[in-house]
């Protein structure tokens, strides 16, 4: 085993900082009853919990894909190791088969032949035909074995997944039975009736479903290109999975930029009113009035120029793509704080007239303290709702921006780039649909899960919706 050199890209650092912040927040929330209560409500909603599991699966992949390193070159000396210029991630290492099994060009999902005809040697004669793939279905002798092989692999994978989930369920049942001091039968009955205080059925079913799907995918992927290959013969499943990280980074880091701006400006404007309010309102009217895409386009162009004129700072292609991704998050954050700021301003205007704020002022409590103890905690739920609602919009926006050419680096794996690259191939006959299909399917799954989860969070936190529905 060669030694490796860990690489921490900017976005990696921020992602793990974010993860740490979330963990700290969870720890804080667990200690405060009134903060915990709405989360309990979220946890009781089957739809939200199912969505959370799917999100969780995406997040795990994204996190694995954020642990970057450079492998040592095989022929470099041990005392002065040299490292590959290619930056890989733990996820790449786990899926090295997918990554390395590159075909010549397009091939359909689960195919064993290339998509384009070539001159191939057959029985001594040269004929023009679809050549066999180098990896996909290479283990098969004849073409008619393919279908039964696919079925077998799917079943085996699903069964493995099913067994794994049964095992997990057994562990869960054992743990729960010990904890709640119920008889096993009684707990199982309660679970089946859905009378536990958490959506047991949905969670167990969802985990089983995910595991079975994962198992089947893994089985199939070891012998085929499940979603086919793209123009340069790369496995589309691999590209789609790699794109998860991009989507997550854009969805979360952008919000990270938005929040301080929105919270700071929104509360300050609403609480202090007067000229402070005038200036902040001016600022956000200006920003709001510029068509967002144009502003993002302008800023992205600038970053591009900057990267090109400073090649020495960014030593690898990954670092270049990464800084552009970060810049995109930054720009989208700077252009999108206005909505939340406006909401928070309005709410602060209302809160500042409430009696408990008046009472604090009657004690001469300082403004900073009033904001931090009376205003902010009482509009935190709005911030939270905004975070989860914005996430899906940002993931979708990435695709559009990449299509216009002002999104992430063209070399970066992202659903937007996949769509952009595949769009023109729709004109081919027969059509190359799997790249688009895979990108849309992955994006849809992530966004739908995020939206459903956001719904659950909003219902639990928004006092206006409380009790209704």
Binding residues vs other proteins (CB under 8 A): 33-34, 282, 285-291, 293-295, 297-299, 301-302, 305-306, 309, 354-356, 358-366, 369, 373-374, 377-378, 392, 396, 399-400, 403-406, 419, 423, 426, 431, 436, 440, 443-444, 447-448, 450-452, 455, 464, 467-469
Beta carbon nearer to other proteins, 154 or 378: 378
Tokens of 238: 């691999």
Beta carbon nearer to other proteins, 175 or 444: 444
Tokens of 184: 């096993």
Beta carbon nearer to other proteins, 260 or 405: 405
Helix then strand then coil, % of the chain, to nearest 5: 70, 5, 25
Residues linked to residue 245 through DSSP beta bridges, in sequence order: none
From start to end of 125-180, where are the E strands?
A: 125-129
Residue among 88, 98, 122, 101 nearest 2 (CA): 88
Beta carbon nearer to other proteins, 199 or 215: 199
> Could you tell me the smallest distance in angstroms from the CB atom of residue 359 to other proteins?
6
Query: Count of CB atoms within 10 A of residue 399's CB?
Result: 21
Beta carbon nearer to other proteins, 210 or 365: 365
> Could you tell me the smallest distance in angstroms from the CB atom of residue 106 to other proteins?
17
> Could you tell me the smallest distance in angstroms from the CB atom of residue 33 to other proteins?
7
Query: Count of CB atoms within 10 A of residue 197's CB?
Result: 10
DSSP label at residue 352? T
Beta carbon nearer to other proteins, 233 or 416: 416
CA angle 102, 107, 113 (to 5 degrees): 95
CA angle 43, 91, 244 (to 5 degrees): 55
SS3 366: coil
> Could you tell me the smallest distance in angstroms from the CB atom of residue 305 to other proteins?
5
Determine the Cα–Cα distance for residues 463 and 441; give it in Å rounded to an integer: 34
Q: How far is CA 261 from CA 67, 257, 266, 371, in A?
A: 29, 7, 8, 15
> Could you tell me the smallest distance in angstroms from the CB atom of residue 366 to other proteins?
7
> Could you tell me the smallest distance in angstroms from the CB atom of residue 451 to other proteins?
5
Cβ-Cβ contacts under 8 Å for 79 (sequence gap 6 or more) = none
Tokens of 347: 């709410």
SS3 139: coil
> Could you tell me the smallest distance in angstroms from the CB atom of residue 440 to other proteins?
5
> Could you tell me the smallest distance in angstroms from the CB atom of residue 204 to other proteins?
22
Beta carbon nearer to other proteins, 163 or 359: 359
Determine the Cα–Cα distance for residues 336 and 325; give it in Å rounded to an integer: 16
Angle between helix 236-272 and helix 415-423 axes, rounded to 10 deg? 120
Query: At residue 80, what are phi and psi to the nearest 5 degrees?
Result: -130, 70
- Per-residue burial over 237-271, b if 16 or more Cβ lie within 10 Å, else e, is bbbbbbbbbbbbbbbbbbbbbbbebbbebbbbbbb
> Could you tell me the smallest distance in angstroms from the CB atom of residue 226 to other proteins?
20
> Could you tell me the smallest distance in angstroms from the CB atom of residue 238 to other proteins?
21
Beta carbon nearer to other proteins, 176 or 240: 240
Beta carbon nearer to other proteins, 69 or 284: 284
Beta carbon nearer to other proteins, 87 or 326: 326
């Amino acid at each position: 085993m060669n030694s490796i050199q860990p690489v921490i890209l900017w976005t990696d650092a921020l992602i793990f900082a974010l993860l740490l912040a979330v963990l700290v927040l969870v720890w804080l929330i667990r200690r405060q009853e009134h903060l915990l209560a709405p989360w309990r409500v979220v946890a009781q909603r089957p739809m939200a919990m199912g969505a959370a599991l799917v999100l969780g699966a995406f997040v795990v992949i994204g996190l694995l894909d954020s642990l970057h390193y450079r492998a040592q070159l095989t022929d470099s000396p041990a005392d002065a190791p040299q490292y590959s210029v290619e930056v890989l991630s733990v996820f790449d290492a786990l899926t090295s088969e997918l990554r390395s099994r590159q075909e010549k060009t397009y091939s359909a999902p689960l195919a064993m032949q290339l998509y384009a005809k070539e001159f191939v040697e057959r029985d001594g004669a040269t004929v023009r035909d679809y050549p066999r793939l180098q990896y996909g279905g290479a283990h098969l002798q004849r073409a008619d074995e393919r279908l039964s092989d696919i079925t077998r692999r799917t079943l085996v994978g699903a069964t493995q997944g099913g067994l794994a989930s049964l095992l997990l369920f057994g562990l869960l049942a054992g743990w729960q039975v010990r904890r709640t001091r119920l008889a096993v039968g009684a707990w199982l009955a309660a679970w089946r009736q859905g009378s536990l205080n958490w959506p047991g059925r949905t969670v167990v079913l969802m985990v089983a479903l995910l595991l079975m799907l994962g198992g089947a995918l893994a089985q199939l992927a070891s012998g085929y290109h499940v979603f086919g290959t793209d123009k340069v013969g790369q496995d589309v499943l691999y590209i789609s999975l790699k794109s998860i990280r991009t989507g997550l980074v854009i969805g979360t880091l952008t919000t990270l930029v938005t929040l301080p701006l929105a919270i700071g400006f929104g509360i300050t404007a609403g609480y202090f009113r007067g000229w402070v309010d005038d200036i902040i309102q001016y600022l956000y009217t200006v920003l709001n009035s510029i068509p967002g895409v144009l502003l993002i386009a302008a800023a992205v162009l600038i970053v591009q120029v900057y990267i090109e004129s400073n090649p020495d700072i960014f030593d690898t292609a990954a670092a270049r793509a990464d800084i552009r991704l970060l810049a995109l998050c930054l720009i989208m954050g700077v252009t999108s704080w206005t909505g939340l700021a406006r909401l928070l301003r309005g709410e602060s205007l209302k809160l500042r007239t409430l009696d408990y704020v008046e009472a604090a002022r009657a004690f001469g409590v300082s403004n900073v303290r009033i904001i931090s103890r009376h205003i902010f905690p009482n509009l935190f739920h709005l911030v939270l709702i905004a975070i989860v609602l914005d996430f899906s919009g940002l993931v979708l926006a990435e695709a559009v921006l990449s299509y216009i050419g002002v999104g992430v680096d063209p070399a970066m794996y992202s659903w937007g780039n996949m769509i952009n690259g595949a769009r023109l191939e729709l004109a081919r006959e027969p059509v190359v649909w799997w790249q688009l299909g895979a990108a849309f399917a992955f994006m849809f799954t992530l966004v739908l899960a995020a939206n459903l989860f956001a719904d659950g969070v909003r219902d639990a936190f928004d006092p206006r919706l409380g009790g209704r529905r």
